[in-house]
Amino acid sequence: MFDATVREGVLRLRRPGTRWLSTGWNGGRSRSAAAYNVSVPEGFDRTDLGAYRDERLSRAGFGTEGEPPTLFTGVSMDHARGARRGPVVAYATAGLSNPAMLPMDPAGATAAAPDDAERDADGSGEVPPAEPTARPDRPGTVNLIVGTTRRLADGAAENLVAVAAEAKAATLLATAGVPGTTSDAVVVGDDPTGDPAAFSGSATPVGAAARVCVRDAVRASLRSRYPDGDYPGPPADAEHGVVADDRAEVFEP
């Protein structure tokens, strides 16, 4: 299936000829033998991420093999965990130092409306975007790399990203009370020579397997990272993160 190796703070998930779709840095579609998840040190401030990736992969004895999808996280690869079911495997690293909260009933928030007080300087009535409630960023991140031996049809890889993100959010909400962090990312990979899969929704073999793999990999990584369950997010009042506590204007089309 997919071969996973961890060396020098780098997780490599390898299967030659894989097609990848990444939501992370330098993301989009690519074809490469491997995808990577790289642990960065505290206080990391490099902006030349391509060069940094090459340095870390070289140090770990991995070749870059073109432009492989690469994720970065402040979580040690000691806490990386994988799960496999049927044609799917998922690997997760989970850190919650910078939770991104979305309260369903934000206290004191009012709906955005283009009244006179909110009109922009030229009088167009456009409402300026709300500034999120934020504290200084710190790398936490829940990174997922999901691979399937099936050949996904057009659109099915993109949908699998959504399925994985939904499973991640459901797992984090049930386990730690947060749906995600400010810097989460997902990579999905499929085999262009595998048996075809026209769809990847939650009722399909690929989607159903991905959901349970993501759930179990994320929970295992959380147990490793926070063995006592002392998550930095609510109700422990995390020091870093954002809260989307405004309201939008709602209307019929």
**Summary mean pLDDT of the chain:** 88
pLDDT of residue 109 exceeding 80, the answer is: no
The CATH code of domain 3-101+134-243 reads: 3.60.70
pLDDT of residue 111 exceeding 90, the answer is: no
Q: Please give the torsion angle defined by the CA atoms of residues 151, 57, 41 and 137, in that order, rounded to the nearest 10 degrees.
A: -40
pLDDT tens profile 74-92: 999 999 999 999 999 999 9
The fraction of the chain above a pLDDT of 90, given in percent, is 76
For 107-221, list the strands marked E by DSSP.
133-134, 142-148, 151-152, 185-190, 196-197
d(CA 130, CA 246): 7
Average pLDDT over residues 225-250: 82
pTM of the model: 0.88
pLDDT tens profile 37-85: 999 999 999 999 999 999 999 999 998 767 899 999 999 999 999 999 9
pLDDT tens profile 188-210: 999 999 999 999 999 999 999 99
| Domain residue limits, the chain | 3-101+134-243
d(CA 129, CA 152): 37
